Amino acid sequence: MTITTTPHLNFDGNAREALDFYATALGTQAVSMTYGAMGATDEPAWADRIVWGQVESASGVRVMAFDVWPGQPYDQGTNASYVYLHGDDADEITSVWEGLLDGAEVRQPLGPSAWAPLAGQLRDRFGVIWALDVAAESETH
């Protein structure tokens, strides 16, 4: 049996915008379903909110997201989690980094670090923290 881990990001009304943004950054398309299409609510204000959404890149990066259920408390938190992308292709990591930069707060500029030839961290415009790095030479052999 294989188990995979997928970051599931929670939003309060802007999950579609976030999924589209991440799809562009990862060079793919977002797929999603709304509360209304699923028949989960009769409230018009909730009909177009996302009950399930996902982006998945050709290289296997996957992120899921939804808008929290009606009436469910929402607190984005400060450092509750990171989406961590670790790869062996500097160009691919750099491309994702550049895709996420629009409106981001750079917490660690993308560049050489003590543990990797290329590493960086940012908080994107939706408040999600992304950590990216490239495998050290010893990891790729």
| 42, 14: one domain | yes
Whole-model pTM: value is 0.82
Percent share of the chain, pLDDT over 70: 93
Q: Both 53 and 92 in a single domain?
A: no
Query: In this structure, what token pair is assigned to residue 33?
Result: 């379903």
Considering only CA atoms, which of 8, 62, 53 is closest in space to residue 31? 53
- 59 and 93, same domain (yes or no): no
| CATH at 124 | 3.30.720.110
Per-residue pLDDT, 3: 62
> Is the residue at 2 inside a domain?
no
Q: How confident is the model at residue 60 (pLDDT cuts 50, 70, 90)?
A: very high
91 and 134, same domain (yes or no): yes
Same domain, 129 and 97: yes
Residue 98 dihedral angles phi and psi, to the nearest 5°: -65, -35
* Residue 76 reports pLDDT greater than 80: no
- What's the average model confidence in pLDDT over 51-63? 94
Q: Looking at residues 105-109, what average pLDDT do you find?
A: 96
Same domain, 128 and 89: yes
Q: Domain range for residue 41?
A: 8-67
Q: What is the pLDDT of residue 17?
A: 97
| Total domains present in the chain | 2
Is the pLDDT confidence value at 78 over 90? no
- From residue 106, alpha-carbon distances to 22, 95, 97 in Å are 17, 15, 10
Q: Which long-range contacts (CB under 8 A, 24 or more apart) does 93-97 make?
A: 93/118, 93/132, 93/133, 93/134, 94/118, 95/27, 96/25, 96/26, 96/61, 96/132, 97/122, 97/132
